[in-house]
C-alpha cells in the first residue's frame, strides 16, 4: 500500500472481504500514518463508481481494493465506464493462489483477464511461498505500483483502469509493521512526474515500458483554416472541455455543445440544435464539422457526421475510441482523427452573420419561457398591474413541477463552485435541449451511458471536492436522477458509521418508470401492457421510507415554489423527491 502512496495514490476505496484482509488493514494503517485517505463501501459496484467519481473530480486514479470471486466481477460496470470515458482507476484485487484455481475451490474463479481489453495494464502477482518480505520484493512491488499509476494516468495512451491481481495463501495476514507517514510533497511529486494530459502521448520509462496501454491513433496536430465561405460547426460531446468553445469562437462557427461537454456556454452556443440540424435551411448548409468529446444525447449529430463523412475532423480526447459514426456506413471515408488542432486565419462579417443566424434561430425556438412573472408589472405605478404580478407569481409557485421546470430550477441553483451530476434518464436530454449557457461543472457517466452507479459517482465527486478543505467554498454536489436510476444505485446511500458523510443532494424526478423508453419507435405499435411491463417497469415505492431508512433526510416537492425553497436546504445528506406532473397526467394517464 505504501508503494502506491509513494507512486501518487491519495485515495483508497475498500470493500470488506476475507481474502483481501491484509490489503484492507494495511490501508487503514497507512491512513493513520497520514499517507492516504480511505473510504469503506459495503459493495464493490458502489465502491468502484465512488472511485470513478473521485478520479473525475481530482484527475488522480483512486485505488479500489476487493476480495476474490464475484467481488471482482462487481467492479466490471465501473471499469467499462472508466475505460470508455478515459477515467483513471486502479483495481487491486485479492485472489487465491495458483494451485487453488481450476479445482473448484471456494470463491475462486479466473480473475486475470476478467475485464478483457478494458484495462490499460494487467498484472497477476503470485502468492509468496516464504514468510517475510525482503527488500528485493519491496523493490518489485514499488515498480509494480509505479507501473499501475502510470498506466492508469495515461502515460503511454489514454487514461483508464489498471488491474493488479494479488494472490494470498493462508495465513492471509500477519502482524502489521509500523507504517511511516508518506509526506504530501512526496506523493505530489511522485504523481506529477507521471501525470500527463488525458490521451496525450507521454515518454515511457522503464517502469511502464511493458504496460498494455492503448496506443494513440491519428495525426499529432491538424491545421484548421477559417473558411472563406462560412459553413463549419463545432460539436462538443461529453467531456469535450472548454477548448471546444474557444475553437468555435476563433473559427466563427456555431457551437453545438452537450450539457456535460464542459463547453455549454459562450456567445456561439446553439442550445436548440436538434430542430436546426433537421432543418435543411440550417443543417443542410453545414459543410464541415469539428468534433470534441463524445456526443451521445441526440440522433441528429451522428446523422450529420455520417452525411459529412470525410469533412469531419475529430479531436480525440481521453477515451480509447475516436468518435466517428461515418465509419459505421463507409469504413474508408471516415473522419480525420487528430490529437490537437491549430487555427489559421481570421473571421469576417460573413462568419458573424453565419453564427448569428444560428443563435437567433435557437433563441426563437426556445422562446422567452413563461417561468417568471412580468417584472414590469411588479414595478408599475398602477395597482391593478402590481396585483396582476402578485397573482401570476402565486400561480407560478403553486404550479406542479414538470421535467422542464425541474431542470430549469436545478440549473439555476447551480453555480461554478457547485457540482452537478446527471443520471442517464430523460432528464439529461431535457437539460441538453433547454438550459442556457453557463460555465459550471456538469458530469454524467456517458462512456457507456448506463444508469449504473450514478449516486456513487456523485458521492465520489463530493468527496473529492472536500479535499480543498473549505467545505463552504466547495459548494454543494447535486445529482439529478430518474426514479429507476435512483433505485438502481440505492445501495450508495448505505455508509458505515465510521465513514465521513459526504455532502450530497439527490434529486429524484419521479415519473414511476422508465420514461425514456416512451420515445422508442416500437412504442407506437407494441401492446401498451407489454411496453408497460417489459420496458417502462413502473414502480410505486416509498422513496421517503427508503431515504430515511438509510439515514438520509427526505423532502417531497409538490409545487414549483416548494422546489425553489428546498434546493437551498442546508441538510448535508438529502433526498429530494419531485413527482413529475407531465409524467402522470400526459404520459401514463394514471
| Predicted confidence (pLDDT) per residue in 333-377, tens digit | 789 999 999 999 999 999 999 999 999 999 999 986 555 556 666
Are 199 and 218 a contacting pair, CB within 8 Å? no
Query: Would you say residue 129 has pLDDT above 90?
Result: no
| Rounded-to-integer distance, Cα 2 and Cα 144, Å | 12
**Residue 215 located in a structural domain:** no
Domain identity same for 382 and 286: no
**What is the structure's pLDDT at 279?**
97
Domain end, chosen from 347, 366, 385, is at 366
Query: Residues 306, 331: contact at Cβ < 8 Å?
Result: no
Do residue 443 and residue 552 come from a single domain?
yes
Q: Do the domain assignments include residue 361?
A: yes
Q: Are 147 and 282 in the same domain?
A: no
Q: Is 84 left (phi over 0), alpha (psi -120 to 50) or beta?
A: alpha
C-alpha cell at 10: 491519495
| 277 close to 283: Cβ distance less than 8 angstroms | yes
| pLDDT tops 60 at residue 269 | yes
In this structure, of 68-77, 92-101, 262-271, 380-389, the range with the lowest mean pLDDT score is 380-389
| pLDDT exceeds cutoff 80 at 104 | yes
Entry field: residues in the chain: 590
Q: For every residue of 23-81, which 3-state class applies, written as one string?
A: HHHHHHHHHHCCCCEEEECCCHHHHHHHHHHHHHHHCCCEEEEECCCHHHHCCHHHHHH
Residue 273 maps to a domain: yes
Q: Is residue 285's pLDDT more than 50?
A: yes
- The number of C-alpha atoms within 13 Å of 240 and in the hemisphere containing its C-beta is 33
* Cβ–Cβ < 8 Å for 517, 533: no
30: in domain:
yes
Choose one of 393, 408, 438: the last residue of a domain.
Answer: 393
Q: Is residue 68's pLDDT more than 70?
A: yes
State how far the Cα of 292 lies from the Cα of 203, in Å rounded to an integer.
25
Characterize the bridge pairing of strands 573-579 and 553-556: parallel
What contacts 159, CB < 8 A, 6 or more positions away?
61, 86, 87, 88, 120, 152, 153, 198, 199, 318
User: Do 530 and 428 share a domain, yes or no?
Assistant: yes
Query: Do 79 and 89 contact (CB within 8 A), yes or no?
Result: yes
CATH number at residue 494: 3.40.50.970
Same domain, 330 and 469: no
pLDDT at residue 344, as a whole number = 93
Do 378 and 464 sit in the same domain of this protein? no
Specify whether 433 is located in the same domain as 413.
yes
Q: Which long-range contacts (CB under 8 A, 24 or more apart) does 532-538 make?
A: 537/484, 537/513, 538/512, 538/513, 538/588
213 lies in some domain: no
Q: Is residue 216 one of the residues assigned to a domain? A: no
> What are the φ and ψ backbone dihedral angles of 129, each rounded to 5 degrees?
-105, -5
C-alpha 45/C-alpha 25 separation (Å) is 21
CB neighbours of 246 closer than 8 A, spacing ≥ 6?
none
* Same domain as 436, residue 347: no
Of 77, 79, 37, 40, the closest CA to residue 58 belongs to 37
Lowest mean pLDDT among 80-84, 193-197, 376-380: 193-197
Rounded Cα distance between 114 and 9, Å, is 23
In sequence order, which residues have a C-beta less than 8 Å from that of residue 482 and are 6 or more positions away? 423, 425, 426, 427, 508, 509, 510, 511, 514, 515, 516
Please give the residue that has the higher pLDDT: either 95 or 194: 95
Give the span between the Cα atoms of 245 and 405, in whole angstroms. Answer: 27
**Which neighbouring-strand residues pair with 480?**
422, 507
Both ends of the chain: CA-CA distance in Å?
55
* Residue 172, φ and ψ in degrees, nearest 5: -75, -20
Same domain flag for 226 and 312 = yes
Tell me: do 347 and 417 sit in the same domain: no
Q: CA 256, 261, 263, 268: dihedral to nearest 10 degrees? A: 10
Q: What is the pLDDT of residue 469?
A: 62
How many structural domains is the chain composed of?
4
Q: Evaluate if residue 158 carries a pLDDT over 60.
A: yes
Residue 398 has pLDDT above 90, yes or no: no
Instruction: Please answer whether residues 573 and 501 qualify as being in contact, where contact means their C-beta atoms are separated by less than 8 angstroms.
Output: yes
Cβ-Cβ contacts under 8 Å for 110 (sequence gap 6 or more)? 101, 102
Task: Provide the CATH number for the domain around residue 352.
Answer: 3.40.50.1220
Does any domain span residue 338?
Answer: yes
Backbone angles phi, psi at 297, to 5 degrees: -105, 5
| Cell numbers for 568 | 437551498
Averaged over 181-193, what is the pLDDT? 55
Same domain, 346 and 243: yes
Cα distance between residue 37 and residue 12, in whole Å: 6
In a domain, 408, yes or no: yes
Domain that holds residue 323: 222-366
| Cell 448505505 sits on residue | 494
What lies within 8 Å, CB to CB, of 174 at 6+ separation is 22, 131
How far is the C-alpha of 498 from the C-alpha of 519, rounded, in Å?
44
> Same domain, yes or no, for 270 and 382?
no
Q: Which of 167-181, 183-197, 217-231 is predicted with the least confidence, judged by mean pLDDT?
A: 183-197
Q: How confident is the model at residue 186 (pLDDT cuts 50, 70, 90)?
A: low
C-alpha span between 106 and 318 (Å, rounded): 39
**Residue 46 in contact with residue 71, Cβ under 8 Å?**
no
Phi, psi dihedrals of residue 286, rounded to the nearest 5°: -75, 130
The overall longest dimension of the chain from CA atoms, in Å, is 92
Report the distance separating Cα 472 and Cα 451, nearest Å: 30
HSE-up of residue 70 (Cα within 13 Å, Cβ side):
2
Mean pLDDT of 4-29: 95
**Residues 6 or more apart from 59 whose CB is under 8 A from it?**
88, 195
Task: Please identify, among 154, 186, 208, the residue that sits at the C-terminal boundary of a domain.
Answer: 208
Q: Which of 400, 362, 358, 438 is nearest to 558 (CA)?
A: 400
**Rounded CA separation 590/567 (Å):** 28
Amino acid at each position: 500500500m505504501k508503494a502506491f502512496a509513494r507512486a501518487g495514490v491519495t485515495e483508497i476505496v475498500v470493500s470488506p472481504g476475507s481474502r483481501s484482509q491484509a490489503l484492507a488493514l494495511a490501508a487503514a494503517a497507512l491512513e493513520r500514518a497520514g499517507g492516504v485517505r480511505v473510504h469503506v463501501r459495503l459493495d464493490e459496484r458502489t465502491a468502484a463508481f465512488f472511485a470513478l467519481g473521485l478520479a473525475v473530480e481530482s484527475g488522480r486514479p483512486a485505488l479500489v481494493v476487493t476480495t476474490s470471486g464475484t467481488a471482482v466481477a462487481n467492479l466490471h460496470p465501473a471499469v467499462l465506464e472508466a475505460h470508455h470515458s478515459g477515467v483513471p482507476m486502479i483495481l487491486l484485487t485479492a485472489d487465491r493462489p495458483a494451485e487453488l484455481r481450476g479445482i473448484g475451490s471456494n470463491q475462486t474463479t479466473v480473475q486475470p483477464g476478467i475485464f478483457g481489453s478494458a484495462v490499460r495494464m494487467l498484472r497477476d502477482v503470485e502468492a509468496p511461498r516464504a514468510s517475510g518480505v525482503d527488500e528485493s520484493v519491496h523493490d518489485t512491488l514499488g515498480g509494480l505500483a509505479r507501473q499501475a499509476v502510470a498506466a492508469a494516468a495515461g502515460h503511454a495512451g489514454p487514461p483508464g483502469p489498471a488491474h493488479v491481481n494479488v494472490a494470498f495463501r493462508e495465513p492471509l495476514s500477519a502482524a502489521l509493521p509500523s507504517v511511516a507517514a508518506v509526506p504530501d510533497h512526496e506523493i505530489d511529486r511522485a504523481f506529477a512526474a507521471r501525470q500527463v494530459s488525458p490521451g496525450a502521448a507521454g515518454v515511457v520509462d522503464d517502469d511502464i515500458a511493458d504496460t498494455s496501454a492503448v496506443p494513440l491513433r491519428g495525426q499529432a496536430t491538424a491545421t484548421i483554416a477559417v473558411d472563406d465561405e462560412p459553413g463549419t460547426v463545432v460539436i462538443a460531446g461529453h467531456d469535450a472541455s472548454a477548448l471546444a468553445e474557444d475553437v468555435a469562437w476563433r473559427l466563427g462557427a456555431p457551437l453545438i455543445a452537450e450539457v456535460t461537454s464542459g463547453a455549454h456556454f459562450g456567445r456561439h452556443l446553439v442550445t436548440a440544435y436538434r430542430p436546426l440540424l433537421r432543418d435543411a435551411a440550417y443543417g443542410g448548409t453545414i459543410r464541415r464539422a469539428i468534433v470534441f468529446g463524445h456526443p451521445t444525447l441526440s440522433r441528429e449529430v451522428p446523422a450529420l457526421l455520417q452525411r459529412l463523412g470525410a469533412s469531419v475532423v475529430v479531436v480525440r480526447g481521453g477515451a480509447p475510441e475516436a468518435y466517428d459514426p461515418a465509419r459505421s456506413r463507409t469504413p474508408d471515408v471516415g473522419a480525420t482523427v487528430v490529437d490537437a488542432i491549430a487555427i489559421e486565419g481570421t473571421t469576417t462579417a460573413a462568419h458573424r452573420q453565419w453564427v448569428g443566424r444560428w443563435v437567433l434561430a435557437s433563441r426563437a425556438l426556445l422562446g422567452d419561457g413563461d417561468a417568471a412573472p412580468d417584472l414590469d408589472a411588479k414595478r408599475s405605478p398602477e395597482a391593478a398591474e402590481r396585483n396582476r404580478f402578485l397573482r401570476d407569481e402565486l400561480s407560478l409557485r403553486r404550479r406542479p413541477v414538470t421535467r422542464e421546470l425541474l431542470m430549469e430550477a436545478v440549473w439555476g441553483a447551480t453555480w461554478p463552485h457547485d457540482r452537478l451530476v446527471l443520471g442517464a434518464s430523460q432528464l439529461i436530454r431535457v437539460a441538453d435541449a433547454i438550459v442556457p449557457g453557463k460555465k459550471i461543472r456538469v458530469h454524467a457517466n456517458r462512456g457507456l451511458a448506463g444508469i449504473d452507479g450514478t449516486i456513487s459517482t456523485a458521492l465520489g465527486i463530493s468527496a473529492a471536492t472536500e479535499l480543498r478543505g473549505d467545505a463552504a467554498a466547495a459548494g454543494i454536489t447535486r445529482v439529478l436522477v430518474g426514479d429507476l436510476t435512483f433505485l438502481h444505485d440505492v445501495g450508495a446511500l448505505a455508509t458505515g458509521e465510521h465513514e465521513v458523510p459526504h455532502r450530497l443532494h439527490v434529486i429524484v424526478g419521479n415519473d414511476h418508470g422508465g420514461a425514456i423508453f416512451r420515445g422508442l419507435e416500437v412504442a407506437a405499435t407494441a401492446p401498451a401492457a407489454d411496453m408497460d411491463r417489459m420496458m417502462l417497469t413502473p414502480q410505486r415505492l416509498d422513496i421517503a421510507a427508503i431515504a430515511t431508512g438509510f439515514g438520509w433526510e427526505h423532502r417531497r416537492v409538490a409545487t414549483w415554489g416548494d422546489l425553489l425553497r428546498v434546493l437551498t436546504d442546508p441538510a448535508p445528506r438529502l433526498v429530494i423527491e419531485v413527482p413529475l406532473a407531465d409524467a402522470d397526467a400526459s404520459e401514463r394517464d394514471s
